[in-house]
Structure 1
Amino acid sequence: MTDDEPSTVSMQSLNASTAEKLRQTVARIERLEEEKAEVAQQVKDVYAEAKAFGFDVKALRQIIKIRKTDRQEREEQEQVLETYLLALGEI
């Protein structure tokens, strides 16, 4: 089915309560998207503040990424990375 083709469920087959639920769902998604954009702007502002304090933003982003990763998984990734760097003569 392409975007131009009508879906198998037409608006005529939606009863009033189903249509209302659809409207509520769309409105909720739109509100969440707005909140997501606001949070993204706040994060951007915090990074800008950090940069103004003289912090290295690239390092901060790496720290955030590392802290999201499970410790055991991170250690395994670091071991693999070290093995590869040794094999390449980089360390």
Structure 2
Amino acid sequence: MAEESVAAEQLRLFIERIERLEEEKKGISDDIKDVYAEAKSNGYDVKTMRKIVALRRQEAHARQEADALLETYRTALGLH
């Protein structure tokens, strides 16, 4: 019986930690939205900014590979 109560307590603590982290994540997400809204109100294109953030998240070799593939496709479709 003691093992069950210890396991239940441990489970409760895990759940509470997850709930706190989810709340922090929501707060950070809201902060990011606010920054994008501020950038937009200052005339920046948010869609392009999101792409830049995604590109900066990639490693250099992955970004270069994606750029090369995009260029190949653009050339093949006459979009160059």
Alignment TM-score > 0.5, same fold: yes
Work out the CA distance in 2 between the residues paired with 1:86 and 1:63.
22
Identity in percent: 47
Using the size of structure 2 for normalisation, the TM-score is 0.91
- Once the two structures are superposed, residues 62-82 of structure 1 have per-residue CA deviations (whole angstroms, 9 ceiling, x without a partner) of 110110011111001111111
TM normalised by structure 1 equals 0.81
**Aligned residue number for residue 53 of structure 2:** 64
What are the ranges of 5 or more consecutive residues in structure 2 without an aligned counterpart? none
Q: Which has the higher helix share?
A: 2
Name segments (4+ residues, structure 1) moved above 4 Å. none
Greater C-alpha Rg: 1
**Which of 12, 27, 30 is the equivalent residue of 1:41?**
30
Structure 1: stretches of 5+ with no match in the other structure: 1-11
SS at match of 1:15: helix
Q: Deviations over 1:2-61 (max 9, x none)?
A: xxxxxxxxxx8x611111000000001111111111110000001111111111111111
Q: Distance in 1 between matches of 2:66 and 2:10?
A: 45
Q: Is 2:73 the counterpart of 1:84?
A: yes
Aligned length: 79
RMSD: 1.3
